[in-house]
Chains A and B, each alone.
Chain A
Amino acid sequence: MTNERNIATKIIVKFMFFLMALTLVGIAWTAPAENSYISQAATHRVKEAGVESPVTAVLIHFRGYDTLLEVTVMFLVAIGAMAVGTSKEDHQPSLLIAPDEKLLAKPMIRILLPVMLTVSIYYLWAGAKKAGGAFQAGTILGAMGIMLFLAQKLYAREKESVLWRILLVSGPFTFLTVSFISIFFDNAFLEYPQSINSQLIFIIETMVKISTGAIFCILFTRARSLSFLEKTQ
Chain B
Amino acid sequence: MIWDQYLPLIMFLISFVVGLLIFCISDSQHRLRIFLNLIGAISKLFLIAYMFWGVYQEHHYEYRLPVFPGIDFVLAADSLSLLFMGLSILLWLLTTIYAIGYLEHSPHQSRFFAFFSLCVSSTMGIAMAGNLFTLFLFYELLTISTYPLVVHRGTEKALEGGMTYIKYALTAGIPCLIGIVWLHTLTGDRSFHETGYLSSLGEEHYTALRIIFCLLVAGFGVKAAIVPLHGWLAKAMVAPAPVSALLHAVAVVKAGAFALIRLVYDVYGVSFLQNLGLDFPLLCLASLTIIYGSICALRQNDLKKCLAFSTVSQVSYIILGISLFGTLSTIGGVVHLVHQGLMKITMFFGAGNLAETLGIHKIDEMDGVGRRMPGTMIAFSVAALGMIGLPPMAGFVTKWYLGLGVLESGSYWVIAVLLSSSFLNCAYFLPILYRAWFKKAQGDFEEKKEASVWETSPALLFPPIATATLAFSVGFMVYSSVGPLAWIKMLANREYGYFMVYPIPYNLTLSNNIGNFILFVFVLSTLLLLLRKFLDKVLFFALPFVCSFFLYLGIFQNDFFLDFPQYLFGLKIAINPSNRIFVILISILWTASAFYSYSYMSHTPNRLRYSFCFLLSFLGNLGIVLVEDIPGFYFCYVLMTFAAYGLIVHDGTKPSQKAGIVYLVLSILGESMILVGFLWVVSYTQVMEIAQISSIIHTLPGHEILLGLFVVGFGIKMGFVPLHVWLPLAHPCAPTPASAVLSGSIIKAGMFGFLRFLPLGIAELPVLGTVFVFWGLGTCFYAALVGCTQEKPKTILAYSSISQMGLAAMALGMILLKPELSVFIQTALAFFLVHHALVKSSLFLGVGMPSSAKKIVLPGLALSALMLAGFPMTSGAFGKTFLKNCAVEAQVSSWTIFFMGITSFTTTLLMSRFLLQIKEKQPVSHEHSSALWQFISWGFLIISSLLFPYCFAFDGHPLKLAFSAKAIFSSLWPVLAGAFLAWFFLRFPKKLPKIPEGDLLYIWEAFAHVFFKIVKKIEYHPVKKWTLFSMVSSETLSKYSQIPLSLEARLQSFSIAIGFVVFLFLGLFFSFFFY
Direct contact of A and B (CB under 8 A): yes
A residues touching B (Cβ–Cβ < 8 Å)?
Answer: 13, 16-17, 19-20, 23, 27
Query: B1066 to A19, Cβ gap below 8 A?
Result: yes
Query: A20 to B1066, Cβ gap below 8 A?
Result: yes
Q: Which residue of A lies closest to B1055 (CB)?
A: A13
B1065 proximal to A (CB < 8 A): yes
Query: What residues on A are CB-neighbors of B1062 within 8 Å?
Result: 16-17, 19-20
- Distance of A2 from chain B, by nearest CB (Å): 15
Query: B1066 to A23, Cβ gap below 8 A?
Result: yes
List the 6 closest A-B pairs by CB distance, nearest first. A16-B1062, A20-B1062, A23-B1069, A20-B1065, A19-B1066, A17-B1062
Query: What residues on B are CB-neighbors of A27 within 8 Å?
Result: 1069
B1022 proximal to A (CB < 8 A): no
Report the number of A-B residue pairs with Cβ-Cβ less than 8 Å.
Answer: 14
B residues touching A (Cβ–Cβ < 8 Å)?
Answer: 1059, 1062-1063, 1065-1066, 1069
Q: Which residue of B lies closest to A16 (CB)?
A: B1062
Query: What residues on B are CB-neighbors of A13 within 8 Å?
Result: 1059
Q: Which residue of A lies closest to B1061 (CB)?
A: A20
14 contacts between A and B (CB under 8 A): A13-B1059, A16-B1059, A16-B1062, A16-B1063, A17-B1062, A19-B1062, A19-B1066, A20-B1062, A20-B1065, A20-B1066, A23-B1065, A23-B1066, A23-B1069, A27-B1069
- Distance of A40 from chain B, by nearest CB (Å): 31
Cα–Cα distance between A23 and B1062 once the two chains are bound (Å): 11
Query: What residues on B are CB-neighbors of A16 within 8 Å?
Result: 1059, 1062-1063
Query: What residues on B are CB-neighbors of A19 within 8 Å?
Result: 1062, 1066
Cα–Cα distance between A19 and B1069 once the two chains are bound (Å): 12
Query: What residues on A are CB-neighbors of B1063 within 8 Å?
Result: 16
Cα–Cα distance between A207 and B1065 once the two chains are bound (Å): 43
Query: What residues on A are CB-neighbors of B1065 within 8 Å?
Result: 20, 23
Query: What residues on B are CB-neighbors of A17 within 8 Å?
Result: 1062
- Distance of A193 from chain B, by nearest CB (Å): 47
Q: Which residue of B lies closest to A20 (CB)?
A: B1062
Query: What residues on B are CB-neighbors of A23 within 8 Å?
Result: 1065-1066, 1069
Query: What residues on A are CB-neighbors of B1069 within 8 Å?
Result: 23, 27
Which DSSP category, helix, strand, loop or mixed, fits chain A's interface? helix
- Distance of A156 from chain B, by nearest CB (Å): 33
- Distance of B1054 from chain A, by nearest CB (Å): 12
Cα–Cα distance between A27 and B1066 once the two chains are bound (Å): 12
Query: What residues on A are CB-neighbors of B1059 within 8 Å?
Result: 13, 16
Query: What residues on A are CB-neighbors of B1066 within 8 Å?
Result: 19-20, 23
Cα–Cα distance between A19 and B1059 once the two chains are bound (Å): 12
List 8 other contacts, CB 8 Å, given A13-B1059, A20-B1066: A16-B1059, A16-B1062, A19-B1062, A19-B1066, A20-B1062, A20-B1065, A23-B1065, A27-B1069
Cα–Cα distance between A20 and B1069 once the two chains are bound (Å): 10
- Distance of B856 from chain A, by nearest CB (Å): 115
- Distance of A53 from chain B, by nearest CB (Å): 37
Cα–Cα distance between A175 and B971 once the two chains are bound (Å): 137
Cα–Cα distance between A70 and B883 once the two chains are bound (Å): 123
- Distance of A13 from chain B, by nearest CB (Å): 7
Cα–Cα distance between A23 and B1073 once the two chains are bound (Å): 13
Q: Which residue of B lies closest to A26 (CB)?
A: B1069
Cα–Cα distance between A27 and B1063 once the two chains are bound (Å): 17
- Distance of A23 from chain B, by nearest CB (Å): 6
Q: Which residue of A lies closest to B1063 (CB)?
A: A16
Cα–Cα distance between A20 and B1066 once the two chains are bound (Å): 7
Q: Which residue of B lies closest to A12 (CB)?
A: B1059
Cα–Cα distance between A13 and B1066 once the two chains are bound (Å): 14
- Distance of A71 from chain B, by nearest CB (Å): 31
Cα–Cα distance between A17 and B1055 once the two chains are bound (Å): 13
Q: Which residue of B lies closest to A24 (CB)?
A: B1065
Q: Which residue of B lies closest to A13 (CB)?
A: B1059
Cα–Cα distance between A19 and B1062 once the two chains are bound (Å): 9
Query: What residues on B are CB-neighbors of A20 within 8 Å?
Result: 1062, 1065-1066
Cα–Cα distance between A157 and B592 once the two chains are bound (Å): 116
Cα–Cα distance between A16 and B1062 once the two chains are bound (Å): 7
Q: Which residue of B lies closest to A9 (CB)?
A: B1055
- Distance of B588 from chain A, by nearest CB (Å): 107
Cα–Cα distance between A16 and B1063 once the two chains are bound (Å): 8
Cα–Cα distance between A23 and B1059 once the two chains are bound (Å): 16
Cα–Cα distance between A20 and B1062 once the two chains are bound (Å): 7
Cα–Cα distance between A27 and B1070 once the two chains are bound (Å): 12
- Distance of B700 from chain A, by nearest CB (Å): 88
- Distance of A100 from chain B, by nearest CB (Å): 46
Cα–Cα distance between A23 and B1065 once the two chains are bound (Å): 10
Q: Which residue of A lies closest to B1065 (CB)?
A: A20
Q: Which residue of A lies closest to B1069 (CB)?
A: A23
- Distance of A24 from chain B, by nearest CB (Å): 9
Cα–Cα distance between A228 and B887 once the two chains are bound (Å): 142
- Distance of B1063 from chain A, by nearest CB (Å): 8
Cα–Cα distance between A27 and B1065 once the two chains are bound (Å): 12
Cα–Cα distance between A17 and B1069 once the two chains are bound (Å): 15
Cα–Cα distance between A13 and B1069 once the two chains are bound (Å): 19
- Distance of B448 from chain A, by nearest CB (Å): 62
Cα–Cα distance between A13 and B1063 once the two chains are bound (Å): 11
Cα–Cα distance between A20 and B1059 once the two chains are bound (Å): 11
Cα–Cα distance between A6 and B1059 once the two chains are bound (Å): 15
Cα–Cα distance between A17 and B1062 once the two chains are bound (Å): 7
- Distance of A140 from chain B, by nearest CB (Å): 36
- Distance of B1066 from chain A, by nearest CB (Å): 7
Cα–Cα distance between A65 and B539 once the two chains are bound (Å): 101
- Distance of B1065 from chain A, by nearest CB (Å): 6
Cα–Cα distance between A16 and B1070 once the two chains are bound (Å): 14
- Distance of A186 from chain B, by nearest CB (Å): 43
- Distance of B391 from chain A, by nearest CB (Å): 83
Cα–Cα distance between A13 and B1059 once the two chains are bound (Å): 8
Cα–Cα distance between A170 and B51 once the two chains are bound (Å): 71
- Distance of A214 from chain B, by nearest CB (Å): 34
Cα–Cα distance between A225 and B1058 once the two chains are bound (Å): 39
- Distance of A34 from chain B, by nearest CB (Å): 25
Cα–Cα distance between A23 and B1066 once the two chains are bound (Å): 8
Cα–Cα distance between A27 and B1073 once the two chains are bound (Å): 13
- Distance of B179 from chain A, by nearest CB (Å): 47
- Distance of A130 from chain B, by nearest CB (Å): 39
- Distance of A11 from chain B, by nearest CB (Å): 14
Cα–Cα distance between A89 and B1062 once the two chains are bound (Å): 43
Cα–Cα distance between A17 and B1065 once the two chains are bound (Å): 11
Cα–Cα distance between A108 and B1069 once the two chains are bound (Å): 56
- Distance of B907 from chain A, by nearest CB (Å): 107
Q: Which residue of A lies closest to B1070 (CB)?
A: A23
Q: Among A13, A16, A17, A19, find the residue whose CB has the most chain B CB atoms closer than 10 A.
A: A16
- Distance of B106 from chain A, by nearest CB (Å): 50
Cα–Cα distance between A20 and B1068 once the two chains are bound (Å): 12
Cα–Cα distance between A19 and B1066 once the two chains are bound (Å): 8
- Distance of B632 from chain A, by nearest CB (Å): 90
